[in-house]
Structure 1
Amino acid sequence: MQPGKLPNELMAEIVFSNIRVKRDEVLVFPQVGMDCGVIDFGEDVCVLSTDPITGTSSDIGWLGVHIACNDVIAAGVEPLGLMLTIMAPPGTTESELYEIMSQADKASEELNVAIVGGHTEITPAVTRTVLSTTAIGKAKKSRVMNMLTVKSGDYIIMTKTAGLEGTAIIATEREDELKKHLDSELVERAKNMIKDISVLKEGEIAVRVGVNRMHDATEGGVLGALWEMADSSGLGIEVYGDKIPVAEETRAICDYLKINPLRLISSGCLLIATSEKKLLSEELKKEGIKATVVGRIVKKGRYIKSGTLKFPLEPPKSDELYKVITN
């Protein structure tokens, strides 16, 4: 199988089909496009999400915290706690582990989320350090359950630019090569895009304005995330392909490496389904957050429009990152 997330059809066939135990307290079970589980505690719910960092070996402590928390934030919930699992290969130094935990501590301070537990192990089962983070949040049941389903006619607002995380990872992992072929300042700017990876601010604004659904664009990129939003709702989607913003740095790096920025891992880019497109766009822009209408939910059909052209929106496959980053 190809590197990256398991394709959706295999998730259904292999993973979801083997999850048979159901409990009344569990309100949201695993499904495509739904990154969080939701457990009922009366008027409140506990929202949980877990994510590993596998596409890079740089800044994994900082990334792990933000990536996991982004999924909880996209559910309209403030993350409160974290569980970290670190699996490191033999030969890992104490200073390397210290750096990972220092990064995680810094990120948790930025988000005001507590590290409440985890597991740390040196094992020959991995050839490089893997960090997996579980984020935990708490919210009123009514708010969370009202933000689980998109509606036909909803507009999709995208924050920031496509391929944000992937651009930063590639610029860091292949810095020397890129600086031989591209402007050095551009590569440095690309590396610094990692600082925009949190969706906390836009998530808070979206909840305040009122939205129907949010989804963090991770592996599979913006197009993969848009497909997942439609698929999880059983509806169609019209994507405005020529409207999806791509930063100059992302475009230059993707052109050089011959990869598609719209299929590149895009953590930090939040997709928001709302009927309040004007108000939400204005509120986001007031806070200096780039906001672009990139599509609309329709009753049926999943397609991309670009100028006069119209073609099918394909389900996500292996992320473009794995074409250019070797583990």
Structure 2
Amino acid sequence: MKIGKLPAEMLNKNIIGKIRVKRPEVLVHSGIGEDCSVINFGNDCCVLSSDPITGSGSFIGRLAVNVSCNDIAASGAEPLGILVTIMAPESCSEEDIFELMNEINDAASIINIEVLGGHTEVTGAVNKMVVSTTAVGKGPEGGYITSSGAKRGDYIVVTKSIGLEGTSILASDHEKYLEGRMSRDQIENAKSYINKISVIKEGVIGGRLGVSSMHDATEGGLLGAVWEIAEASNKGFELYEDNIPVTSETRNICSIFGIDPLRLLSSGMMVITAKDLAPLQDALKNQGIDSSNIGRITGCSKRRVIIKGGQEINVDPPQNDELFNIKFDK
């Protein structure tokens, strides 16, 4: 099997399709494109999301905190805390675990969440540090947003730019390889993208405005996130390549490694669908968040395309992330 997330068809057949119990308290169940579960607790609802960090050798503590909390934010809820599971290889030291927890606690402090507990062990089952977090959030009953709410005619808006997480990881993990292929300033700029991966502000704004859907663009990048919204909503989409924001650092790194920036890990970019464009972009701008209108949701679920140079190109379901497809010159 290929490295990365299971394809949607395989996920439905072997994972989601095997879930038998559906509790009435659960408002949002497991499904393709739904990163969060929502549980009714009376006046409030509890929002839960879980994610591992496996593709990065750098920033794993910071990524582990932000990736799962970003999913909570994509539901328009406030993240309150995380449970952390650390699987450490036999080659690690006590200092490695100490430094990892410092990074996790620093990241948690920035976004004001508590580390609620978890599990830590050294195991021969892994050959590098693996960190998985489960984030817990709170929101008003009926006030949550799902990936399945996109409506025909909605605008598709993205914040910041694509590939932020993947660019930062590649620049940090392969810094020596990039030297001589990129300028020192570009490498440092690319590494600094790790500071932009939180989308909690975007989630609060989207929740307040009642947008139709939100999705944090993680594995599979922009195209994966938009495809998952469309799949969850049983809709189609058209994207306009010229409108998609991509920095020169991301473009250069993707060119060097022979990968597609549109399918590269993109935590830090929120995909939002909304009926009204101006109020959303104005609210984002007021918080200092750049945004771009990159397309529309369409009614035909079989038409999922990106328009390049006047031509429509079909967008396939997300496969493994481009982070796992990098190529090196001999």
8 Å CA contact retained: 2:187, 2:249: yes
Tell me the distance in 1 between the aligned counterparts of 2:315 and 2:188: 33
Determine the structure 1 residue equivalent to 2:19: 19
Shift in Å, 1:209: 2.7
Percent identity over the alignment? 47
Amino acid at match of 2:58: S
Q: Which residue number in structure 2 is paired with residue 315 of structure 1?
A: 317
Cα distance in structure 2, aligned partners of 1:79 and 1:49:
10
Match in the other structure for 2:173: 173
CA deviations 1:123-182 (Å, max 9, x no partner) are: 111111100000001111210168851111110110011111000000001001101211
CA contact (8 A) 2:74 2:145 kept: no
Query: How many Å separate the matches in 2 of 1:234 and 1:52?
Result: 27
Within 2, Cα distance between the matches of 1:181 and 1:58?
A: 21
| Equivalent-residue separation in structure 1 for 2:227 and 2:287 (angstroms) | 28
Secondary structure, in 3 states, of the residue corresponding to 2:137?
strand
Q: Structure 1 residues 220 and 147 mapped into 2: Cα distance closer, same or farther (>3 Å)?
A: closer
**2: CA distance, partners of 1:148 / 1:231:** 8
Q: How many residues align?
A: 326
Q: Is the 8 A contact 1:170 1:325 kept in 2?
A: no
Which residue number corresponds to residue 132 of structure 1?
A: 132
- Three-state SS of the structure 2 residue aligned to 1:71 is helix
The correspondence of residues 154-193 of structure 1 with structure 2, limited to 5 A, is 154-193=154-193
Instruction: Measure, in 1, the Cα distance between the counterparts of 2:55 and 2:116.
Output: 25
Superposed CA offset, 1:9-67 (max 9, x none): 11001111211111111111111110001111122111000000001121211110001
Once the two structures are superposed, what CA deviation does each residue of 1:221-257 show, in whole Å capped at 9, x if it has no partner? 1011111110100111111122111111000111111
Instruction: Give 1:307 deviation, angstroms.
Output: 3.2
Contact preservation (8 Å) 2:76, 2:145: no
Q: Is this contact kept in 2: 1:303–1:310, CA < 8 A?
A: yes
TM-score (norm 1): 0.97
Residues 230, 237 of structure 1: 8 Å contact kept:
yes
TM-score (norm 2): 0.96
Counterpart code for 2:154: D
SS of the residue corresponding to residue 180 of structure 2 reads: helix
- Distance in 1 (CA, whole Å) between partners of 2:146 and 2:7 is 28
* Runs of 4 or more above 6 Å deviation: none
Alpha-carbon separation, structure 2, partners of 1:325 and 1:94: 34
SS in 2 for 1:126: coil
Distance 2:38 2:202 in 1: 22
Superposed CA RMSD in Å reads 1.4
Query: Secondary structure of the equivalent of 1:32?
Result: coil
